[in-house]
């Protein structure tokens, strides 16, 4: 308590000249504790985090250079070729780096907790899996640890903000505090956050979560690295086989004798948490791989769409008149084009071109999604932007001669950011559904095979839903539903948290939660 | 009220007399300013052909009821008229020898702030609530004087002190909601002073404030004017405030200036029936025990070019000609400082002569506009 009076006395001074760093130097312990734990958390999974980070960097690099390429390509094809060359070399460097990061020891990896193995003699202890456990348990252990790690890491990041707020922030209160406090009692929003975190985890740590890898099981099952050892009951010895060959004998095609359902083993001692696909590939691994590409495509699309929508909303609110009308007309024009047909057309036109091959076709889709989704976001934020543009402080900034671009960024953007966030998270669900729909249609649409895509799994199992192989369609379908619901819940949560008038509704819940806890 | 104005006149007797005598060009000269708003239903002549000058170091008041076009005048000068509003061809705003109506958006942006500053109607809203007051003053400093970092901070502290905010160094890091209404208005004035303008437009800067704070702000503006040699246009609907601060007054009604006069003369000898009505509505000027007089009715929306006197329907002394002839400014005193747009003047002529006088002047005015580009 003594310290709190001190802070109050010191407040006027602190507000004058201290920076965050100097405040940390004054009172280093809370920060040091947080950093120490964070450091341990990061070290544990350094390889995976770096790998995931490089993945994001690569996607961004491809997105940015890809867009630059298209734009420059309109003017000069040789320049575009130059950019393409740069993109390829940079991407290959990044891939090399990513390969290096796989060498960094990571605690929760399949090297440390392997789940692949065989039972010498057909019974007894397993050779290969972690501690001789059954592959199912070894895999489950790794999965639980990875999920737990991801949740702890997310919490710790949030905790970092709490530490900052409590010890190092100058203001005693900011509107963000209210938003966070409201989210803390908003169960529906929290459900959305958890789903989002799980989805991000699948994207980032997917390779460690599956019982096998996309590389070995799906992309190149016939290379030397893809050999697996298994106990052959007929010959009574341990033999090796290509994963592809094993897949061939582990198909789920709807008949009782040819089906590997969820939570079962195939003839090669491989555990399949979600069963196998019609081509014998592991569905769980497939889902993890699909999560990554969905994440990247949705991210690029929503990023591009939000950028366009936010920028144009501010431009039309600031200038109004004919500029606003022009944007409106453009938006209406874009909305009037059926998006699915446009996607099909673009996919067909660009099939087998370099542009259509970036990110296995995902990049092109992301750009089309981004360019077609902004009118919806723009309509939603134009209203709030118009309102902000009428504020006297915008006039005041104009009357002291501030540039329009800075007025928009500094005096308008903070007020429409919340709306953008809400609408972006709600539209993300729509993009995931459309992406799955394209993959479902197949025939050169959507993410090109063999790269996993959720919609394709649904499509593969379409005819088998009523038989023993129901899992092929049902599980990915349910995952899509869950993810989209989660995204909407996240958006709802933010909306309620940002809206100061939702206070009353939350009040009851707060008391209830308080009583329960 | 009028008795309070002599000290003002004493403060800069030279400014008024000498400059007029030298015939020096006024700092701001507005002539035939017409700002119209096109709506789906009608075209509104919010400002309809007004003329006035502001000399260096002078305070010119614009007074009128709500809806008489005062704020639109201010925004026109600032170049802040937005769609569906438009300044008509033939409008002229000369500032410091430059024709502002011909300026591009970039040129206007450069003149705003460092040339002409504006303190707007609502001090509560003129500061962005998400940034500290210091941040916003420093923003103005950076835009207009290229100052940043520590010098800007120091200058911002000086400015807050100049507008009499105590403990300025600490206040700089506070948010607008931590300021009281009067302090916020001072902060807005400080923000405008940060631009170091030659010319300040104060659009009802004291309307939202209580009377004591109002007096302090007026005092502050007077001091700043003396210190920086500012020219000020002061817009208000409060005759009392006008009496305290203005050197000369323009009375606006429905988009037109109906009377122009030095402040003492206006209060002592108002000529236009509207001005008389406004003055009679001030408590304390009427006889003891008498009911306070009001002007019946509302300001009409000027939705057509003037073909008659817009005040006629509310005018106690209107006659037939008022419905047919748009009155033109007529000199009503010795010298040309005091004019009124009313068919009652020039005094001493018969009704027919006066009507003819105004009809001729109106025709001449219309022809003049047609030559200089004209309105549709």
Chain B: closest CA distance from residue A5 (Å): 19
What pLDDT sits at residue A298?
93
β-strands B116-119, B199-203: how paired? parallel
The answer to whether B187 contacts chain A (CB < 8 Å) is no
Residue A433 covered by a domain: yes
pLDDT in tens, B13-58: 444 444 444 456 789 999 999 999 998 888 899 998 899 999 988 9
The answer to whether B130 contacts chain A (CB < 8 Å) is yes
Q: What is the domain count for chain A?
A: 2
pLDDT grade, residue A317 (50/70/90)? Answer: very high
Residue B188 covered by a domain: no
What pLDDT sits at residue A448?
85
Distance of alpha carbon A438 from alpha carbon A445, whole angstroms: 6
What pLDDT sits at residue B157?
92
Average pLDDT of the residues of chain A = 85
Q: Among residues A412, A421, A435, A415, which one has the least CA distance to residue A484?
A: A435
Residue B368 covered by a domain: no
DSSP A201-213: HHHHHHHHHSSS-
Residue A16 covered by a domain: no
Partnered with residue B43 across adjacent β-strands are B38
What pLDDT sits at residue B370?
59
What pLDDT sits at residue A309?
96
Contact residues on chain A for B156, CB-CB shorter than 8 A: none
Domain shared by B31 and B87, yes or no: yes
Q: How far is CA A46 from the centre of its chain?
A: 19
Residue A392 covered by a domain: yes
Domain shared by B247 and B275, yes or no: yes
Reported as type and span, the H/E element at residue B226 is helix B211-228
Chain B: closest CA distance from residue A494 (Å): 19
CB atoms within 10 A of CB A275: 25
**What's the mean pLDDT in A282-308?**
92
Residue that is last in its domain, among A281, A305, A330: A281
**What's the mean pLDDT in A184-199?**
92
Domain shared by B137 and B274, yes or no: no
| Record: contact B125-A392, CB cut-off 8 A | yes
Question: The dihedral of CA B238, B239, B240, B243: what is its sign?
Answer: positive
Residue that is last in its domain, among A281, A299, A324: A281
CB atoms within 10 A of CB A475: 22
Which tokens in the block code for residue B221?
A: 């503006």
The answer to whether B252 contacts chain A (CB < 8 Å) is no
| Record: contact A400-B170, CB cut-off 8 A | no
Domain shared by A255 and A344, yes or no: no
Partnered with residue B99 across adjacent β-strands are B94
| Record: contact B139-A395, CB cut-off 8 A | no
Q: Is the pLDDT of residue A513 over 60?
A: no
Distance of alpha carbon A110 from alpha carbon A213, whole angstroms: 9
Q: In this predicted model, which residue has the larger pLDDT, B291 or A136?
A: A136
Partnered with residue B38 across adjacent β-strands are B43
Is the Cβ–Cβ distance between A295 and A200 less than 8 Å? yes
With H, G, I as helix, E, B as strand and everything else as coil, classify residue A231: strand
Domain shared by A427 and A498, yes or no: yes
**What's the mean pLDDT in A180-186?**
89
Task: Pick the residue from chain B with its C-alpha nearest to A171.
Answer: B174
pLDDT grade, residue B286 (50/70/90)? Answer: low
Domain shared by B259 and B279, yes or no: yes
Domain shared by A452 and A330, yes or no: yes
Preferred mutation among A172, A389, A401, A415 to probe B, highest tally of B CBs within 10 A: A401
Average pLDDT of the residues of chain B = 84
pLDDT grade, residue A10 (50/70/90)? Answer: very low
Distance of alpha carbon A432 from alpha carbon A488, whole angstroms: 12
The answer to whether B128 contacts chain A (CB < 8 Å) is yes
pLDDT above 90: percentage of residues in chain B:
22
Q: Among residues B297, B136, B185, which one has the least CA distance to residue A400?
A: B136
The answer to whether B120 contacts chain A (CB < 8 Å) is yes
Beta-carbon contacts below 8 Å between A and B: 82
pLDDT grade, residue B285 (50/70/90)? Answer: low
The answer to whether A184 contacts chain B (CB < 8 Å) is no
Domain shared by B217 and B301, yes or no: yes
Radius of gyration of chain B (CA): 21
Domain interval for residue B144 = 128-178
| Record: contact A410-B169, CB cut-off 8 A | no
What pLDDT sits at residue B10?
42
Distance of alpha carbon A382 from alpha carbon A315, whole angstroms: 9
Contact residues on chain B for A399, CB-CB shorter than 8 A: 78, 80, 112-113, 116-118, 120, 192
**What's the mean pLDDT in A167-182?**
82
Domain shared by A253 and A343, yes or no: no
Q: Among residues B177, B197, B164, B81, which one has the least CA distance to residue B128?
A: B177
Q: What is the CATH number of the domain that holds B248?
A: 3.40.50.300
Q: Is the pLDDT of residue A504 over 60?
A: no
What pLDDT sits at residue B13?
42
Residue B369 covered by a domain: no
Domain shared by A269 and A380, yes or no: no
pLDDT grade, residue B240 (50/70/90)? Answer: confident
What pLDDT sits at residue B221?
87
pLDDT in tens, A111-150: 888 888 888 877 778 888 888 888 899 999 999 999 999 9
Q: Report in angstroms the alpha-carbon separations of A176 from A192, A271, B150, B190, B269.
A: 19, 46, 29, 29, 59
Residue that is last in its domain, among A251, A281, A311: A281
Domain shared by B271 and B146, yes or no: no
Domain shared by A266 and A335, yes or no: no
Domain shared by B23 and B64, yes or no: yes
Q: Is the pLDDT of residue A250 over 80?
A: yes
pLDDT grade, residue B11 (50/70/90)? Answer: very low
pLDDT grade, residue A17 (50/70/90)? Answer: low
Residue B314 covered by a domain: no
Is the Cβ–Cβ distance between B206 and B236 less than 8 Å? yes
Contact residues on chain A for B160, CB-CB shorter than 8 A: none
Preferred mutation among B107, B114, B126 to probe A, highest tally of A CBs within 10 A: B126
**What's the mean pLDDT in A209-232?**
88
Locus of tokens 């099939």? A351
What pLDDT sits at residue A5?
39
Domain shared by B159 and B210, yes or no: no
Task: Pick the residue from chain A with its C-alpha nearest to B111.
Answer: A401
What pLDDT sits at residue A505?
45
**What's the mean pLDDT in A79-84?**
83
Which tokens in the block code for residue B265?
A: 């003369």
Domain shared by B15 and B80, yes or no: yes
pLDDT grade, residue A506 (50/70/90)? Answer: very low
Contact residues on chain A for B143, CB-CB shorter than 8 A: 400-403
Domain shared by A475 and A364, yes or no: yes
What pLDDT sits at residue A158?
93
Domain interval for residue A451 = 284-505
What pLDDT sits at residue B67?
84
**What's the mean pLDDT in A80-90?**
85
Domain shared by A450 and A401, yes or no: yes
Domain shared by B47 and B136, yes or no: no
Domain shared by B40 and B144, yes or no: no
Q: What is the domain count for chain B?
A: 2
**What's the mean pLDDT in B259-271?**
91
Residue B38 covered by a domain: yes
Residue A484 covered by a domain: yes
pLDDT grade, residue A22 (50/70/90)? Answer: confident
**What's the mean pLDDT in A498-508?**
58
What is the DSSP-derived secondary structure letter of residue B167?
S
pLDDT above 90: percentage of residues in chain A:
38
Preferred mutation among B78, B121, B128 to probe A, highest tally of A CBs within 10 A: B128
With H, G, I as helix, E, B as strand and everything else as coil, classify residue B30: strand
Domain shared by A234 and A293, yes or no: no
Chain B: closest CA distance from residue A392 (Å): 5
Residue A131 covered by a domain: no
What pLDDT sits at residue A57?
86
pTM of this structure: 0.79
Residue A397 covered by a domain: yes
What pLDDT sits at residue B321?
87
Q: Is the pLDDT of residue A394 over 60?
A: yes
Contact residues on chain A for B109, CB-CB shorter than 8 A: 401, 403-404
pLDDT grade, residue B371 (50/70/90)? Answer: low
Range with the poorest average pLDDT among A217-221, A233-237, B41-45: A233-237
What pLDDT sits at residue A78?
84
| Record: contact B112-A403, CB cut-off 8 A | no
What is the SS3 string spanning A285-325? HHHHHHHHHHHHHHHHHHHHHHHHHHHHHHHHHHHCHHHHH
Which tokens in the block code for residue A311?
A: 């920028």
Residue B367 covered by a domain: no
Q: Is the pLDDT of residue B129 over 60?
A: yes
Domain shared by A307 and A362, yes or no: yes
Contact residues on chain B for A403, CB-CB shorter than 8 A: 109, 143
Locus of tokens 């006889």? B287
Which tokens in the block code for residue B342?
A: 């009313």
Domain shared by A277 and A297, yes or no: no
**What's the mean pLDDT in B318-326?**
88
Q: Report in angstroms the alpha-carbon separations of A17 from A40, B36, B150.
A: 33, 50, 11
pLDDT grade, residue A450 (50/70/90)? Answer: confident
What pLDDT sits at residue A94?
86
Domain shared by B245 and B134, yes or no: no
What pLDDT sits at residue A198?
92
Preferred mutation among A17, A399, A414, A415 to probe B, highest tally of B CBs within 10 A: A399
Q: In this predicted model, which residue has the larger pLDDT, A137 or B2?
A: A137
ipTM: 0.77
Residue A357 covered by a domain: yes
| Record: contact B125-A391, CB cut-off 8 A | yes
**What's the mean pLDDT in A262-291?**
91
Distance of alpha carbon A484 from alpha carbon A357, whole angstroms: 27
Domain shared by A269 and A300, yes or no: no
Residue B324 covered by a domain: no
| Record: contact B78-A399, CB cut-off 8 A | yes
What pLDDT sits at residue B369?
65
Q: How far is CA A118 from the centre of its chain?
A: 35
Distance of alpha carbon A234 from alpha carbon A248, whole angstroms: 18
Q: Is the pLDDT of residue A337 over 70?
A: yes
Nearest to A15 among B143, B170, B195 (CB): B170
Residue B57 covered by a domain: yes
**What's the mean pLDDT in A199-212?**
88
Residue A445 covered by a domain: yes
């Amino acid at each position: 308590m003594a310290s709190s009076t001190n802070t109050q006395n010191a407040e006027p001074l602190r507000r004058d000249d201290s920076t965050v760093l100097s405040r940390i130097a004054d009172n280093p312990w809370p920060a040091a504790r947080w950093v120490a734990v964070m450091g341990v958390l990061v070290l544990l999974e350094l390889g995976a985090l770096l790998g995931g980070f490089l993945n994001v960097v690569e996607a961004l690099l491809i997105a940015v250079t890809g867009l630059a390429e298209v734009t420059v390509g309109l003017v000069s094809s040789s320049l575009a070729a130059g950019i393409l060359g740069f993109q390829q070399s940079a991407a290959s460097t990044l891939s090399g780096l990513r390969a290096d990061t796989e060498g960094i020891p990571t605690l929760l990896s399949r090297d440390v907790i392997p789940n692949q193995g065989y039972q010498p003699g057909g019974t007894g202890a397993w050779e290969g899996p972690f501690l001789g456990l059954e592959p199912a348990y070894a895999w489950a252990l790794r999965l639980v640890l990875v999920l737990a790690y991801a949740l702890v890491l997310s919490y710790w990041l949030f905790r970092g903000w709490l530490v900052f707020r409590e010890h190092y922030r100058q203001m005693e209160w900011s509107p963000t505090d209210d938003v966070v406090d409201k989210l803390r009692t908003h169960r529906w929003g929290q459900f959305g956050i958890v789903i989002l975190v799980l989805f991000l985890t699948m994207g980032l740590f997917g390779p460690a979560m599956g019982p096998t890898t996309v590389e070995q099981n799906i992309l190149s099952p016939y290379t030397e690295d893809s050999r697996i050892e298994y106990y052959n009951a007929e010959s009574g010895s341990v033999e090796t086989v290509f994963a592809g060959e094993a897949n061939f004998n582990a198909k789920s095609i709807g008949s009782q004798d040819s089906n590997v359902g969820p939570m079962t083993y195939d003839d090669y001692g491989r555990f399949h948490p979600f069963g196998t696909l019609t081509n014998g590939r592991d569905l769980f691994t497939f889902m993890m791989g699909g999560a990554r590409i969905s994440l990247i495509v949705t991210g690029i699309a929503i990023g591009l769409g939000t950028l366009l929508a936010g920028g144009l909303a501010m431009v039309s609110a600031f200038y109004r008149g004919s500029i606003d009308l022009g944007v409106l007309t453009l938006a209406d024009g874009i909305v009037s084009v059926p998006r699915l047909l446009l996607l099909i057309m673009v996919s067909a036109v660009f099939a087998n071109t370099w542009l259509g091959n970036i990110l296995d076709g995902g990049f092109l889709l992301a750009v089309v999604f981004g360019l077609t989704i902004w009118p919806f976001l723009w309509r939603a934020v134009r209203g709030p932007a118009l309102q902000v543009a009428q504020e006297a402080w915008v006039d005041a900034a104009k009357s002291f001669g501030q540039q329009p671009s800075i007025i928009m960024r500094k005096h308008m953007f903070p007020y429409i950011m919340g709306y953008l966030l809400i609408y972006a998270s709600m539209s993300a669900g729509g993009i995931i559904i459309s992406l799955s729909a394209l993959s479902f249609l197949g025939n050169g649409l959507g993410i090109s095979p063999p790269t996993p895509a959720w919609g394709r799994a649904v499509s593969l199992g379409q005819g088998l839903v009523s038989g023993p192989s129901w899992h092929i369609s049902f599980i990915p379908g349910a995952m899509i539903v869950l993810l989209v619901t989660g995204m909407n819940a996240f958006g709802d949560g933010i909306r309620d948290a940002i809206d100061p008038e939702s206070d009353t509704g939350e009040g009851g819940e707060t008391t209830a939660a308080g009583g329960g806890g | 009220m009028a008795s309070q104005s002599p000290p003002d006149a004493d403060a800069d007797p030279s400014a008024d007399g000498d400059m007029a005598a030298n015939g020096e060009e006024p700092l701001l000269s507005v002539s035939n300013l017409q700002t119209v708003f096109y709506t789906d239903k009608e075209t509104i002549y919010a400002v309809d052909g007004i003329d006035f000058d502001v000399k260096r170091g002078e305070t010119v008041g614009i007074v009128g009821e709500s809806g008489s076009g005062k704020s639109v005048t201010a925004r026109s000068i600032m170049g802040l008229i937005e769609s569906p509003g438009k300044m008509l061809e033939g409008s002229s705003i000369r500032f410091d020898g430059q024709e502002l109506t011909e300026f591009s958006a970039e040129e206007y942006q450069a003149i705003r702030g460092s040339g002409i500053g504006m303190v707007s109607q609502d001090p509560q809203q003129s500061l962005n609530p998400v940034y500290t007051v210091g941040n916003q003053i420093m923003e103005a400093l950076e835009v207009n004087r290229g100052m940043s970092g520590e010098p800007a901070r120091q200058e911002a502290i000086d400015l807050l002190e100049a507008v009499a905010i105590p403990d300025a160094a600490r206040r700089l890091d506070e948010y607008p909601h931590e300021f009281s209404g009067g302090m916020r208005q001072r902060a807005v004035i400080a923000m405008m002073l940060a631009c170091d303008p030659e010319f300040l437009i104060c659009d009802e800067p004291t309307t939202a404030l209580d009377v004591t704070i109002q007096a302090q702000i007026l005092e502050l503006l007077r001091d700043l004017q003396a210190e920086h040699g500012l020219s000020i246009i002061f817009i208000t609907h409060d005759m009392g405030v006008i009496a305290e601060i203005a050197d000369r007054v323009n009375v606006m009604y429905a988009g037109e200036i109906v009377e122009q006069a030095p402040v003492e003369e206006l209060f002592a000898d108002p000529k236009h029936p509207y001005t008389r009505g406004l003055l009679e509505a001030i408590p304390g000027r009427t006889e003891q025990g008498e009911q306070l007089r009001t002007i019946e009715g509302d300001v009409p929306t000027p939705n057509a070019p003037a073909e008659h006197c817009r005040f006629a329907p509310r005018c106690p002394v209107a006659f037939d000609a008022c419905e047919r002839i748009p009155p033109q400014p007529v000199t009503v005193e010795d010298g040309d400082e005091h004019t009124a747009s009313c068919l009652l003047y020039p005094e001493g002529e018969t009704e027919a002569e006066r009507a003819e006088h105004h009809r001729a002047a109106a025709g001449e005015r219309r022809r003049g506009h047609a030559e200089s580009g004209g309105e549709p």
